[in-house]
Amino acid sequence: MRSNDAGRVCLERVSLAYGKGRAKTTVCEALDLDVAGGESVALIGPSGCGKTSILHALCGLLKPQQGVASVGGVPAHKPRRDVALILQDAGLLPWKTVWQNASLGLQLAGLPLERAKPHLEELHLAPLVQRYPFELSGGQRQRVGIARALATDPSVLLMDEPLANLDAFTKEHIQDVFLALWQRRQHTQVLVTHDLEEAVFLGQRIVVLSAPPAGIVAVLDNPQVGGPHWRNSDAFYAQVQALRKVLV
């Protein structure tokens, strides 16, 4: 069991912008968000509303113009080993094999590379370790991305539309993987998505953002996440409908 405080994710009056001078674009303003340790939250909203920027601020890649983005009570000034980011295309390096990609975070941190092994086995990637990313299917690539993120045993998993480029069948399979991992590891999870069903399937809370400069339009509680037959339940479809009403 993880300490709840270690995985707590906070945005306090955070404003984010990119570009400089006249080209400066403010994507969100005075945003407040508090995600408890072990909670799974989905962020949804129109394109350009700063969802990705929020994740970048939380993993220390983007400095807020104002306010504080923090993880575990510590301001996110630089990338940390206990905060992992999963990108849309998994962010795999084409020149590294599955094994080298999965163990990259460990190599950068100077940790034993063997720690990547159980995650590769758990995600059924052990027979593919010598392959290069272009020799994998979209689903396999994303599973390598997950293995890489988990290798450093993070308490927070930030996911930036991780399944956007996958076909429907693979997407559901990886969503199941995300759900099972979250239930077992109890890490904090912040998922950015455009997919309503994905948000309802994985988010205990669904935060709806407005067009830029973004603010929070609504927060939909979704406590039944991970229940038996969740994807096929009436409650799931009712939640998707409720979310659609908020967005339209």
Tokens of 101: 């990609």
54 or 206: CB nearest another protein: 54
Site size for another protein (CB under 8 A): 27
Report d(CA 128, CA 138) in Å as an integer: 14
* Range 63-102, binding another protein (CB under 8 A): 78-81, 84-85, 87-89, 91-96
Tokens of 141: 């690539």
- Candidates 5, 24, 25, 108; binder of another protein (CB under 8 A) is 108
Under the binding rule (CB under 8 A), the answer on residue 109 touching another protein is: yes
- Candidates 135, 167, 176, 221; binder of another protein (CB under 8 A) is 135
- Residue 97 CB partners (closer than 8 Å, separation 6+): 129, 130, 131, 132
20 or 229: CB nearest another protein: 20
Count of beta carbons in the 10 Å neighbourhood of residue 78: 9
Under the binding rule (CB under 8 A), the answer on residue 59 touching another protein is: yes
Report d(CA 62, CA 22) in Å as an integer: 19
Under the binding rule (CB under 8 A), the answer on residue 41 touching another protein is: no
Under the binding rule (CB under 8 A), the answer on residue 104 touching another protein is: yes
Q: At closest approach, how far in Å is the CB of 209 from another protein?
A: 21
The residue type of 84 is A
Helix/strand number for the chain, H first, E second: 8, 10
- Residue 130 CB partners (closer than 8 Å, separation 6+): 97, 98, 99
Report d(CA 69, CA 27) in Å as an integer: 15
Q: At closest approach, how far in Å is the CB of 97 from another protein?
A: 8
Cis (ω within 30 of 0) for the bond into 213? yes
Site string for another protein, 184-203 (x = CB under 8 A): --------------------
The residue type of 241 is Q
Under the binding rule (CB under 8 A), the answer on residue 61 touching another protein is: yes
Under the binding rule (CB under 8 A), the answer on residue 50 touching another protein is: no
Under the binding rule (CB under 8 A), the answer on residue 228 touching another protein is: no
Which residues would be at the binding site for another protein (CB under 8 A)?
59, 61, 78-81, 84-85, 87-89, 91-96, 104-105, 108-109, 132-135, 148, 152
